[in-house]
Amino acid sequence: MGAPDKLIVFLGNPGKNYERSRHNVGFMVADELADSLGIKINKLRFRSLSELCKFGDKKFLLIKPQTYMNLSGTAVREAMSFYKLEPKDVLVISDDMDLPTGKIRIRKKGSAGGHNGLADIIQKIGSCDFARLRIGIGKPPHEDYDSKDWVLGSFSESDKKLIDEAVRRAAAAVSDYAKKDLDEVMNEYNK
């Protein structure tokens, strides 16, 4: 199929233990998108499960890094280097504790915002000028609650409905990102 025009990175942690954890909403979006496209993101490449696909006249490499969240930058850097992609060619999908559960926010660039996966990507590629789609997972119930336990924990029954809807919307946003201008996608999904 040739080299991709864009790289879409879905953040999460590999393994059954983490499948429905808050930190794995990126992987959930990847699975939702793959189901809607009738593809499988399952080729092991760049320390990731990957799939090359087309949206219209553009090619996209979809990756789910298998390096664990805090080392995601290694996989992203390897894929970018191999295909000579720039940060502006990358979209990263991740969870965000600073957004209410189920809220979606798309930005053209930004800081890590305390997210270790994003921080590692920024450090490894030497730039924060990549797009990101963040899905709110809410804050822990009180200040003394360990944030690591929170992000690795499962959603409550009431939050599952919000997250399932957010995952569907995020997959639709990624699909739209592949076909439309990023500003247009931001205007539609940042409501």
The residues carrying an active-site annotation are: 23
**Residue 107: CB partners within 8 Å, gap ≥ 6?**
131, 132, 134, 186
DSSP 82: H
* Rounded distance between C-alpha atoms, residue 139 and residue 85, angstroms: 34
Per the DSSP assignment, residues forming a β-bridge with 59 are 54
Distances (CA, A) of 120 to 35, 45, 48, 108: 29, 19, 15, 18
Packing angle, helices 72-83 and 116-125, rounded to 10: 40
* Rounded distance between C-alpha atoms, residue 87 and residue 110, angstroms: 12
